[in-house]
């Protein structure tokens, strides 16, 4: 009984070829959609590097492209973290830069003089196409090709991934998600086939991943966890042993070649799980060997004793090594994954980054849309089959969901898993409702078929069966059901299943139409979110003119370019660390601190200078040879990401190092409010940051009411004055303000009284003037 | 090239002395008019000439070393004629420390026949800001220095020097003393013009003796209400594409405000109030207009860190060479740097555009050659280009390259430029110039041949590459790399 008729005169080879062509075309279109949806940033703005970290990666890539790999490898950057400098080659993950460098060299070898900036800008969209392909391959291993295509389409346009991979977002994540997915694919493939080749491929891509992103620790723990769970489920096979051992041995050795990682794989707690599972697998393999030689009873006893003792010994060794300092304990960033309040208490610098905050619920919907609820359904479907690889996705789903809930940033690692699980679920749904067979009513005996007992769930068999479906009446459902029964180890009554199914065309149409509508809304949502929320370079701001045309606010580049063109080449610019990479990249000047927040004390020094009164800050500035101080001020046009809004973090971080000199409560009013108007606290009003931000701001209003448009507060008409700094440059909309640090007074006075003298103010003489000493 | 010049110079020295020793002319009047500007100064000197000997045809103009050094452009015309007279190579008269320019008159003069010669020169970097530093709201004052007398190897009956400024606010000027050639006031000022002279009966002045005895140094100090833009380097690259029927021109410009350097600091508040009350400061270079060719498209304006979104452009429709259109049409671009340029500040940018190739190229079917015309530069009004490099990249495989610059370049090189999927590279001609002014807006003509096979080179190369890839992948698909062929995965 069929709900609708199918053509029966198609030869199997035509079917296979057509399906393959459709798949290739679909994958091509998915890649094109993935790339083009990431180009909103280029179309709306320009080909520009976005945000903060990408500016450093871009700068490093330029060094790599112009000076070669060895020079890059040994690059010591004296212009960062002045006066400390930074060993760049040893403190970065070079995978991203190396990738761009290779592409750059290949293109130039072909006489295609593409600018390195364009390669960097378009790297993330390009790799998103690869990610779609890797996800297709991965999901294909989970279910079948159609689920793979769905997963590829999802990952291609899902905002959760686009948010980190739009054109210009030249960050490690741009290539890392592809590497993540491909490593997982190779791992699953190795596990399924027991192939050392795929284990090695997984290891090589793991190495690439280690070279590219600090998030490699996720793979380092996911694969051992998967292996461990499989062991607990009693699913130890030789395939698992081969896959894991080849991956671990080659992967660990090669990952140690990355200088920034070095000996961490054998010395830090994050990597111990992988090592432990490696050891455990050896023991289990040995136990298997013994089992084949001794009787069952003896083996049970032996196993019990040895497992207990091995576990106790292993734990004791681990604790001892950690205690002795051979293994580094967990890092702060790791603790903050388990205790969300940890960072705020102990490491304010980590907590001050907005992407390290816990995820809010709306952002789940914004990033995943309908996948949010398809995801649990997909996991459920996986549970029903529960092959070895399905266990992997289930673990991934649990871990990924937890981490995504803890940190906004880790939404990114959850997204691929969501896409895979949702695709499996949705594909299952569509399979069920597309299946033309209708259940047999009252004819139980008819449904007896030889092919449904085929034990191999391999894709070839599945394809054959599907191909034969219209003729023999056996299709995907039976196939899946049979795999389920085999995987679950249950012998179910087959005739019972023939009773379930869908009657008629109308029910099918209702569900399929709904599904199509949902997919359509998903596409609309993704496009909308991408174009509106994730495609702003944040270096350039856009607003609209009264006539609706786009107005570009380009203050950052204006000020940075001014610095680059009109100050000494070795001028030292102090700013809050957020802008360090941008200053180095765009203004090409020496910075005190930057987004590589490796030295908390140095950052606290800057925080202290910013939050102290001028007299206290001045010696700090002079000691660090600071020539210019740069602040971001949004009060005039209402740019809310300015330094006054970040100011409390500066205070907190400074307080962490100098608790006697800087205290956070001093910056609040009596009522505990954070204010900048005339009720602001004295410490606030005296702070260098406040003074620089509002210097001469009141004069702009020509005697009228002075409004800070970010904080919606009215400022005193008499603005702050500066004695130790001079205003050097202010950008068009006052967003960037640069102040020059004055040199010491030539007559040895302090600058405040020198300034007062210049303005004709009389000094109050409380005591008789000191006679000038005769210079020896 | 330089060596040859030197040699010619030395050899001709003796001849030079002989040539002007013969007093073949007399100047009945010399009027020099100096139009003071910012970075460039236009000087027009009119010589009313009377021949003293028959068949006089070579007139000599003398410039002091100081003037010669400043002069970047010199042209001699007969009054009422458009065509410039041809000049013989410049000679250095070492004995009197003078540079001599000799102009050939189109027809020889009989005795007592008169003619008027107009010598037009443009001096660059002849003025300098004084005071050297100015605050943001201050006036901009410049100083110009020159010699009192126009030197000439011939006797002069009357000589005058007029110095004109754009605004009548002249702060000071030199009053020469001890003038032998006049009894009246040696200098008068009316409005925006300072007049030195008339001075009568000046003997042949191109001698060391005269310079030492009589020559005076005069200085004018005046207000200048326009910013002094200076282009330190200009790199123009013109790339011709026959396949795309496109001429791409790209200028890389280093801009400098040569006015008085900023004293103290830049105040955005003050700048914004100046803009608000429409009182632009003379020292601030906020924007300038460029006249780009008609019919251009894909105009881009960026600097080292990306696109500059502050400029405006009005394009005019294309004017193909073959049609009789209005040749004076041009696109207007209002260039605005990222930040206003105050005195002493620098800015670099790149400006480029695509233009239809037909607008600047024609094909000569007789010789089978293409002729392309590329302007030396886009004139920025009252700005001096200190160092210019114009590179014209011809299509790949172009042969028989000949070039005709409007005025001689400092040096010219031919190189090979390899770009977009080239196999052998494209011939490129590079011209180096120094100190270009708005008078130097000529067109460089380059002629070349492109054989048909050269047009096909690129498509064939790309096709061959792609076929190679396909063949390789075909082979790859058909080779079984498995070690154990019996095992099925």
Could you report the per-residue pLDDT of B231-258, keeping only the tens digit for each? 999 999 999 999 889 999 999 999 999 8
Which of B268, B338, B422 has its CB closest to that of A561? B338
User: Is the CB of A111 less than 8 angstroms away from the CB of B422?
Assistant: yes
Between strands A572-574 and A590-591, the pairing is parallel
At B4, is the pLDDT very low, low, confident or very high (cuts 50, 70, 90)?
Answer: very low
pLDDT over 90 at A51, yes or no? no
* Average of per-residue pLDDT across B299-309: 89
A residues 33-52 closer than 8 Å to B (CB): 46-48
Check CB contact under 8 Å for A726 and B264.
yes
- Does the beta-carbon distance from B339 to A48 stay under 8 Å? no
Across the interface, whether the CB atoms of A696 and B303 are under 8 A apart is answered no
DSSP-derived letter for residue A699 is G
> Quick one: closest CA in B to A739, which residue?
B265
CB contact at 8 A, A728 and A574: no
Please indicate whether residue A468 or residue A326 has the higher confidence score (pLDDT): A326
Task: Specify which residues B364 forms β-bridges with.
Answer: B369
Quick one: A367 exposed, middle or buried, by C-beta within 10 A (0-12, 13-18, 19+)? buried
- Return the number of other C-beta atoms located less than 10 Å from residue B15's C-beta: 9
- DSSP characters over B203-264: ----SHHHHHHH--EEEEEEE--S--EEEEEEEEEEEEETTTTEEEEEEEEEEEE-SSEEPS
How far CA A454 is from CA of A385, A450, A481, A482, in Å, comes to: 16, 8, 11, 8
Please count the other Cβ atoms lying within 10 Å of the Cβ belonging to residue A524.
11
pLDDT at A317 > cutoff 50: yes
Which one of A47, A565, A729 has the shortest CB-CB distance to B347?
A565
Tokens 């980190």, located at residue = A164
Query: Cα Rg for chain B, rounded, in angstroms?
Result: 29
Chain-centroid distance of CA A669 in Å reads 38
Distance CA A627, CA A34 (A): 45
Instruction: Indicate the CATH number for domain B2-223.
Output: 2.60.40
Question: B421 CA to chain A: closest CA distance, Å?
Answer: 5
Among chain B residues, the shortest Cα distance to A560 is held by B305
Confidence of residue A242 (pLDDT cuts 50, 70, 90): very high
CB A133 within 8 A of CB A33: no
* Distance of residue B308 Cα from the nearest chain A Cα, in angstroms: 8
Of B338, B343, B275, B383, residue with least CA distance to B139: B343
Reported as a pLDDT band with limits 50, 70 and 90, residue A467 is: very low
**Beta-carbon separation of B345 and A728 below 8 A:** no
Parallel/antiparallel/unpaired status of strands A725-730 and A736-741: antiparallel
What is the model's pLDDT at position B16? Answer: 47
Q: Name the interface residues of B facing A (CB cutoff 8 Å).
A: 264-269, 272, 303-310, 338-339, 345-348, 418-423, 489
Cα–Cα distance for residue pair B342/B447, rounded to 1 Å: 43
Note the CATH number of domain A553-755: 3.40.50.12610
Cβ distance B303 to A558 less than 8 Å, yes or no, reads no
Could you say which DSSP state residue A472 is in?
A: H
**Alpha-carbon distance A68 to nearest alpha carbon in chain B (angstroms):** 21
Residues 6 or more apart in contact with residue A471 via CB below 8 angstroms = A8
User: Residue B326's pLDDT is what?
Assistant: 54
- Confirm or reject contact between A115 and chain B (CB < 8 A): no
Q: List the one residue out of B326, B342, B489, B129 whose CA is nearest residue A460.
A: B489
> A632: burial class by Cβ within 10 Å (0-12, 13-18, 19+)?
buried
Q: Residue A497: which H helix or E strand, with range?
A: helix A494-497
Whether the Cβ atoms of residue B51 and residue B179 lie closer than 8 Å to each other:
no
3-state secondary structure of A400: helix
Pairing of strands A628-632, A572-574: parallel
Residues A661-682 have a mean pLDDT of: 88
Q: Which of residues 575-614 of A touch B (CB under 8 A)?
A: 585-586
Which of B269, B305, B309 is opposite residue A552, by nearest beta carbon? B309
Backbone region of residue A386 per phi and psi (left: phi > 0; alpha: psi in -120 to 50; beta: other values): left
What pLDDT shows up at residue A27? 95
- In chain B, domain spans: 2-223, 229-453
Q: How confident is the model at residue A376 (pLDDT cuts 50, 70, 90)?
A: very high
Q: What is the total residue count of chain B?
A: 489
Beta bridge partners of B29: B48, B158
- Per-residue pLDDT at A202 exceeds 50: yes
Q: Where are the alpha helices (DSSP H) in A327-387?
A: 332-338, 342-346, 348-351, 361-368, 371-385
For CATH 3.40.50.12610, list the domain ranges present in chain A. Answer: 553-755
- Other CB atoms within 10 Å distance of the CB of residue A448: 11
Model confidence at A138, pLDDT cuts 50, 70, 90, reads very high
Please determine, for residue A69, whether its predicted confidence score (pLDDT) is greater than 60.
Answer: yes
Q: Please tell me the distance from the alpha carbon of residue B169 to that of residue B192, in angstroms, as a whole number.
A: 7
Q: Comparing A309-318, A445-454, A519-528, B260-269, which segment has the lowest mean pLDDT?
A: A445-454
Token digits for A115? 């600018």
SS3 B355: strand
Q: Does residue A473 carry a pLDDT above 60?
A: no
Token pair listed for A523: 């596409």
The reported pLDDT for the residue numbered A34 is 94
| Contact at CB, A110 and B421, closer than 8 angstroms | yes
A558, A700, A734: residue with CB nearest B338: A558
Of B246, B249, B445, B288, give the one whose Cα is nearest residue B379: B288
Q: Strand, coil or helix: what is A445?
A: coil
Span B476-488, average pLDDT: 73
- CA A469, CA A275: separation in Å to the nearest integer? 47
CATH class of B229-453: mainly beta
Digit-coded pLDDT (tens) for B400-423 = 999 999 888 889 999 999 888 888
The pLDDT tens digits for A487-513 are 433 334 444 445 677 888 888 899 999
Compare all CA atoms of chain A with the CA of B254 and give the residue at the minimum distance: A565
Residue among A110, A554, A729 whose CB faces B309 most closely:
A554
Contact A44, A168 (CB under 8 A): no
First to last CA, chain B: 75
What average pLDDT is seen over chain B? 85
- Of the listed ranges A94-98, A459-463, B192-196, B379-383, the least confidently predicted one is A459-463
> From the list B267, B338, B345, which residue is nearest A557 (CB)?
B338
Copy the structure tokens of residue A37: 């949806």
Question: What ipTM did this prediction achieve?
Answer: 0.89
CA B433/CA B405 separation, integer angstroms: 11
The confidence band for A29, taking pLDDT boundaries of 50, 70 and 90, is very high
- d(CA A766, CA A319) in angstroms, rounded, equals 68
B120 with B74: CB under 8 angstroms?
Answer: yes
Say if residue A615's pLDDT is above 70.
yes
Lowest mean pLDDT among A40-49, A374-383, A479-488, B48-57: A479-488
CA separation for the pair B458, B455 (Å, rounded): 7
User: Which one of B298, B339, B344, B484 makes the best mutation probe of the A interface by having the most chain A beta carbons within 10 Å?
Assistant: B339
Residues 685-704 on A with a CB inside 8 Å of B are 696, 699-700
Residues of B in contact with A560 (CB under 8 A): 305
- Of A436-450, A548-562, A627-641, the poorest mean pLDDT is in A436-450
Residue A242, min C-alpha distance to chain B (Å)? 15
Work out the pLDDT band at A205, boundaries 50, 70, 90: very high
pLDDT value at B488 more than 80: no
> B286-319 burial, b for 16+ CB within 10 Å, e for fewer?
bebebbbbbbbeebebbbebbbbbbbeeebbebb
Confidence of residue A484 (pLDDT cuts 50, 70, 90): very low
Mean pLDDT of B86-96: 82
Mean pLDDT of A103-117: 91
Contact list in A for residue B265 (CB cut-off 8 A) is: 726-729, 740
How many Cβ pairs closer than 8 A exist between chain A and B?
A: 77
- For residue A736, pLDDT over 50 is answered with yes
Check if the beta carbon of residue B250 is closer than 8 Å to that of residue B299.
no
pLDDT of residue A123: 94
Substitution target in B261, B273, B303, B305 with the highest count of A β-carbons within 10 Å is: B305
Question: Is the CB of residue A557 less than 8 Å away from at least one CB of chain B?
Answer: yes
* Whether pLDDT at A694 is above 80: yes
- pLDDT the model gives residue B21: 45
Structure tokens at B213: 């005895």
Q: Give the distance from residue A113's alpha carbon to the nearest chain B alpha carbon, in angstroms.
A: 6
Task: List CB contacts (< 8 A) between B348 and chain A.
Answer: 565
Q: Do A730 and B267 touch (CB under 8 A)?
A: yes
Closest approach of A737 to chain B, Cα-based (Å): 10
Distance of alpha carbon B455 from alpha carbon B396, whole angstroms: 8
| A234 reaches B (C-beta below 8 A) | no
Structure tokens given for A62: 């330029």
8 Å CB contact between A358 and A407: yes
User: CA nearest B57: which of B11, B29, B88, B28?
Assistant: B88
Q: What is the mean pLDDT of residues B265-288?
A: 86
Read off φ and ψ for residue A149, nearest 5 degrees: -65, -40
pLDDT given at position A767: 56
- Decide: A170 and A121 in contact? Cβ < 8 Å: yes
Taking phi over 0 as left and psi of -120 to 50 as alpha, with beta for the rest, A412 belongs to: alpha
Task: Please state, in angstroms and rounded to a whole number, the distance separating the CA atoms of residues A690 and A715.
Answer: 12
Residue with tokens 């925080």: A607
Q: How far is B167 from B456, CA to CA, in rounded Å?
A: 61
Q: Do A41 and A50 touch, CB atoms closer than 8 A?
A: yes
pTM of the model: 0.87
Distance, CA of B298 to CA of B250 (rounded, Å): 11
Phi-psi label, residue A661: left if phi above 0, alpha if psi -120 to 50, beta otherwise: alpha
Partner-chain contact B267 A696, CB within 8 Å:
yes
pLDDT digits 0-9 by tens, A411-452: 999 999 999 999 999 999 999 888 888 887 755 444 444 444
Mean pLDDT value of segment A181-186: 95
Task: Inform me whether the pLDDT recorded for A259 exceeds 60.
Answer: yes
- What pLDDT is stored for residue A510 in this prediction? 92
pLDDT of res. A456: 40
Per-residue confidence (pLDDT) for residue A772, from 0 to 100: 58
Pick from A270, A257, A255, A256: nearest CA to A322: A270
Cβ-based contacts of A195 with chain B (< 8 Å) = 489
Contacts 24+ apart (CB under 8 A), A24-30: A26/A149, A26/A153, A27/A132, A27/A133, A27/A136, A27/A149, A27/A152, A30/A129, A30/A132, A30/A136, A30/A149, A30/A152, A30/A153, A30/A156
């Amino acid at each position: 009984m069929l709900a609708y008729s199918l053509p029966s005169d198609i030869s199997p080879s035509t079917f296979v070829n057509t399906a393959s062509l459709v798949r290739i075309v679909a994958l091509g279109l998915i890649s094109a959609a993935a790339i083009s949806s990431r180009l909103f940033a280029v179309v709306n703005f320009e080909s520009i590097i976005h945000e903060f970290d990408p500016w450093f990666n871009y700068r490093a890539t330029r060094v790599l492209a112009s000076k070669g790999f060895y020079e890059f490898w040994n690059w010591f950057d004296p212009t960062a973290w002045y006066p400390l400098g930074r060993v760049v080659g040893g403190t970065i993950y070079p995978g991203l830069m190396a990738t761009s460098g290779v592409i750059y060299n290949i293109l130039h070898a072909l006489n295609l003089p593409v600018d390195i900036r364009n390669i960097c800008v378009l790297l993330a969209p390009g790799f998103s196409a690869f990610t779609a392909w890797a996800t297709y391959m991965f999901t294909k291993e989970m279910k079948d090709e159609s689920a793979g295509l769905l997963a590829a389409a999802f990952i291609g346009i899902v905002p959760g991934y686009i948010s980190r991979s739009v054109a210009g977002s030249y960050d490690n994540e741009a290539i890392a998600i592809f590497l993540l997915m491909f490593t997982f694919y190779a791992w699953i493939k190795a596990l399924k086939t027991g192939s050392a080749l795929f284990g090695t491929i997984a290891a090589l891509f793991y190495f690439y991943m280690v070279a590219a992103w600090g998030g490699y620790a996720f793979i380092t723990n996911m694969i051992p966890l998967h292996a461990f769970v499989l062991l607990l489920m009693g699913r130890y096979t030789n395939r698992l042993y081969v896959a894991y051992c080849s991956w671990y041995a080659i992967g660990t050795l090669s990952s140690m070649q990355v200088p920034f990682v070095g000996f961490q794989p054998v010395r830090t707690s994050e990597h111990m799980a992988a090592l432990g599972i490696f050891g455990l697998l050896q023991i289990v393999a040995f136990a298997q060997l013994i089992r084949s030689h001794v009787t069952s009873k003896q083996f049970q006893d032996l196993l019990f004793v040895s497992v207990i003792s091995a576990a106790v010994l292993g734990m004791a060794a681990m604790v001892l090594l950690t205690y002795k300092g051979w293994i580094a304990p967990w890092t702060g960033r790791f603790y903050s994954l388990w205790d969300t309040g940890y960072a705020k208490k102990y490491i304010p610098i980590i907590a001050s980054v907005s992407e390290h905050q816990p995820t809010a619920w709306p952002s789940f919907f914004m990033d995943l849309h309908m996948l949010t609820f398809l995801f649990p359904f997909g996991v459920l479907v996986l549970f029903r089959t529960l092959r070895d690889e399905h266990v992997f996705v289930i673990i991934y789903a649990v871990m990924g969901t937890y981490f995504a809930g803890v940190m906004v940033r880790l939404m990114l690692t959850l997204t691929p898993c969501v896409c895979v699980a949702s695709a499996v679920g949705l594909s299952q749904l569509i399979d069920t409702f597309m299946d033309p067979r209708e259940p047999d009513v009252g004819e139980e005996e008819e449904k007896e078929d030889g092919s449904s007992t085929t034990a191999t769930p391999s894709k070839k068999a599945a394809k054959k069966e599907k191909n034969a479906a219209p003729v023999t009446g056996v299709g995907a459902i039976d196939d899946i059901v049979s795999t389920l029964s085999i995987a679950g180890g249950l012998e179910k009554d087959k005739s019972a299943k023939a009773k379930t199914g869908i009657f008629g065309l109308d029910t099918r149409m209702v569900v399929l139409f709904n599904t199509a509508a949902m997919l359509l809304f998903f596409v609309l949502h993704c496009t909308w979110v991408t174009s509106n929320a994730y495609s702003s370079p944040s270096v350039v701001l856009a607003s609209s003119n009264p006539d609706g045309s786009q107005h570009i606010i380009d203050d950052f580049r204006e000020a940075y370019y001014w610095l680059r063109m009109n100050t000494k080449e070795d001028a030292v610019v102090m700013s809050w660390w957020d802008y360090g990479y941008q200053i180095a990249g765009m203004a090409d000047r020496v910075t005190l601190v930057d987004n590589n927040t490796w030295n908390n004390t140095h950052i606290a020094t800057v925080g202290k200078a910013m939050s102290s009164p001028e007299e206290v800050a001045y010696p700090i500035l002079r000691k660090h040879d600071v020539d210019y101080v740069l602040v971001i001020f949004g009060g005039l046009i209402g740019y809310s990401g300015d330094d006054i809004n970040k100011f409390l973090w500066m205070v907190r971080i400074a307080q962490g190092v100098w608790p006697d000199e800087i205290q956070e409560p001093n910056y609040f009013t009596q009522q505990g409010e954070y204010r900048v108007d005339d009720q602001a606290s004295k410490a606030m009003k005296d702070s260098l940051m406040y003074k620089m931000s509002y210097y001469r701001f009141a004069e702009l209003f020509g005697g009228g009411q002075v409004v800070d448009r970010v904080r919606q507060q009215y400022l005193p008409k008499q603005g702050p004055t500066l004695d130790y700094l001079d205003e050097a440059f202010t950008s068009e909309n006052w967003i960037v303000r640069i102040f020059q640090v004055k040199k010491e007074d030539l007559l040895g006075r302090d600058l405040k009284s020198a300034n007062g003298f210049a303005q004709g103010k009389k000094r109050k003489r409380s005591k008789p003037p000191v006679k000038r000493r005769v210079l020896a | 090239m330089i060596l040859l010049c030197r040699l010619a110079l030395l050899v001709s020295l003796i001849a030079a002395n002989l040539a002007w020793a013969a007093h073949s002319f007399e100047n009945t009047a010399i009027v020099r008019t100096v139009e003071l500007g910012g970075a460039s100064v236009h000087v027009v000197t009119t010589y009313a000439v009377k021949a003293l000997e028959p068949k006089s045809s070579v007139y000599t103009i003398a410039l002091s070393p100081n003037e010669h050094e400043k002069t970047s452009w010199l042209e001699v015309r007969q009054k009422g004629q458009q065509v410039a007279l041809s000049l013989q190579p410049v000679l250095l008269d070492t004995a009197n420390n003078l540079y001599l320019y000799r102009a050939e008159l189109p027809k020889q003069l009989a005795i007592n026949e008169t003619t008027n010669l107009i010598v037009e020169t443009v001096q660059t970097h002849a003025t300098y800001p004084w005071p050297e530093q100015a605050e943001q709201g201050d006036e901009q004052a410049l100083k110009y220095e020159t010699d009192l007398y126009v030197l000439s190897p011939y006797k002069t009956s009357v000589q005058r020097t007029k110095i004109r400024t754009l605004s009548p606010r002249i702060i000071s000027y030199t009053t020469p003393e001890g003038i032998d050639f006049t009894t009246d006031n040696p200098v008068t000022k009316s409005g925006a013009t300072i007049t030195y002279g008339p001075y009568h009966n000046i003997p042949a002045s191109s001698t060391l003796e005269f310079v030492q005895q009589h020559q005076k140094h005069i200085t004018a100090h005046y207000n200048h209400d326009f910013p002094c833009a200076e282009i330190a380097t200009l790199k123009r690259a013109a790339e011709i594409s026959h396949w795309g029927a496109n001429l791409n021109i790209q200028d890389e410009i280093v801009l400098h405000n040569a006015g008085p350097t900023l004293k103290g600091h830049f105040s955005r508040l003050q700048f914004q109030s100046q803009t608000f009350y429409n009182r632009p400061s003379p020292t601030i270079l906020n924007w300038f207009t460029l006249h780009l060719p008609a019919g251009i498209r894909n105009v881009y304006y960026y600097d080292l860190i990306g696109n500059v979104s502050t400029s405006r452009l009005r394009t005019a429709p294309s004017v193909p060479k073959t049609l009789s259109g209005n040749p004076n049409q041009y696109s207007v671009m209002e260039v605005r740097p990222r930040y206003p340029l105050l005195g002493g500040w620098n800015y670099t940018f790149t400006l480029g555009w695509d233009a239809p190739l037909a607008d600047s190229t024609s094909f000569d079917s007789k010789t089978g050659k293409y002729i392309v015309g590329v302007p030396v530069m886009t004139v920025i009004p009252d700005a001096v280009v200190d160092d210019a490099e114009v590179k014209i990249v011809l299509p790949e495989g172009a042969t028989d390259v000949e070039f005709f610059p409007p005025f001689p370049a400092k040096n010219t090189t031919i190189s090979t430029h390899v770009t977009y999927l080239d196999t052998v590279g494209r011939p490129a001609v590079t011209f180096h110039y120094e100190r270009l002014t708005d008078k130097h807006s000529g067109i460089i003509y380059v002629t070349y041949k492109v054989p048909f096979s050269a047009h096909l080179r690129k498509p064939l190369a790309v096709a061959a590459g792609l076929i190679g890839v396909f063949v390789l992948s075909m082979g790859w698909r058909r080779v079984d790399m498995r070690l154990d062929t019996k095992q099925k995965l």
